[in-house]
């Protein structure tokens, strides 16, 4: 993967790949930044332009803050500072932090839910005086999803089962024509968006499989995002299924039709180093 941190600002990235489609509702706002990297003040303006204030579960409105020194207490921890004060520490000229902000703008309820769970877990560790760096399985799962997650919205249970079964060639090639109107992949993770600036074989999303009704695919993208944000935040807060990293489904996203110009050839899906078989098919327990 190419090094992208502090690379040149290019506001046209959003139109170059369908991977960025969930961010298209923000395109007209990003187009204003033609002079170079947005400043932290510009980021705050983006937040102010959101239709409704983005609030943490503590009730604090989200706002941009300069990255601080190494935290010395719970209140200065990255997640807890967001939860308690709304301050999201942000670096300038940094793709990772830029996409972090965009995902807050795109999925405000889910980001707030993830943040609340992280803060609650950190509070418990500090109260018990346990090792502050030792995260629980649910925290590890949420971190993986927050950084590299995607949502697979699908109205066909058979297609979702192919993902669970690692049946990639069947999914992406044999059922290629049937994916349109039955399955959408929506990138969530800000690190995954950063990787999408320079895609490479090996890019894999930690995905949540979300059954939807067929009418979902007739909606505009911003409405799809609102539906996903509502359902996903509820899934995480209820905590009934997504409790460990194993609950997330690996998805080699460059296999999605249109996400790599080379996947128009059947042989593309014969690369088992990327399109790996499931554990059972590899002979492991």
Q: Taking the CA of residue 179 as centre, how many other CA atoms within 13 Å lie in the half-sphere pointing to its CB?
A: 19
pLDDT at 281: 45
Query: What is the predicted pLDDT for the residue at 156?
Result: 97
pLDDT value at residue 8: 83
Of the chain, the end-to-end C-alpha distance in Å amounts to 32
pLDDT score, position 73: 81
Phi, psi of 206 (to 5 degrees): -95, 105
pLDDT tens digits for 209-261?
999 999 999 999 999 999 999 999 999 998 778 899 999 999 999 999 999 99
pLDDT value, residue 126: 75
Ranges of residues in the chain with a pLDDT under 50 are 1-5, 280-285
Q: Please tell me the predicted confidence (pLDDT) of residue 3.
A: 42
Q: How far is CA 238 from the centre of its chain?
A: 19
What CA–CA distance (Å, rounded) separates 242 from 149?
13
**Per-residue model confidence (pLDDT) at position 129:** 67
Q: What is the pLDDT of residue 279?
A: 62
| Helices 78-85/108-128 angle, 10° precision | 120
């Amino acid at each position: 993967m190419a090094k992208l941190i502090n690379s040149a600002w290019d506001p046209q990235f959003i139109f170059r790949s369908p991977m960025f489609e969930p961010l298209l509702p923000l395109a007209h706002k990003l187009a204003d930044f033609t002079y170079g990297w947005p400043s932290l003040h510009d980021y705050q303006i983006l937040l102010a332009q959101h239709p409704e204030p983005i609030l943490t579960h503590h009730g604090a409105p989200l706002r941009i803050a300069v990255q601080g020194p190494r935290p010395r207490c719970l209140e200065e921890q990255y997640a807890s500072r967001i939860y308690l004060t709304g301050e999201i520490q942000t670096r300038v000229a940094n793709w990772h932090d830029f996409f972090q902000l965009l995902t807050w703008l795109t999925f405000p309820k889910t980001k707030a839910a993830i943040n609340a769970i992280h803060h609650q877990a950190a509070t418990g560790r500090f109260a018990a005086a346990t090792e502050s760096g030792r995260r629980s399985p649910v925290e590890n799962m949420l971190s993986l999803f927050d950084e590299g997650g995607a949502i697979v919205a699908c109205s066909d249970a058979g297609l979702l089962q192919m993902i669970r079964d690692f049946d990639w060639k069947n999914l992406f090639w044999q059922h290629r024509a049937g994916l349109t109107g039955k399955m959408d992949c929506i990138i969530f993770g800000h690190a995954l968006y950063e990787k999408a600036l320079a895609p490479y074989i090996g890019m894999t999303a930690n995905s949540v499989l979300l059954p939807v009704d067929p009418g979902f695919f007739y909606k505009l993208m911003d409405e799809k995002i609102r539906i996903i944000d509502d359902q996903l935040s509820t899934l995480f807060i209820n905590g009934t299924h997504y409790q460990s990293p194993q609950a997330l489904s690996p998805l080699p996203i460059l296999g999605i039709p249109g996400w790599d110009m080379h996947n128009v050839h059947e042989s593309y899906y014969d690369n088992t180093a990327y399109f790996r078989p499931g554990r059972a098919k590899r002979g492991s327990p």
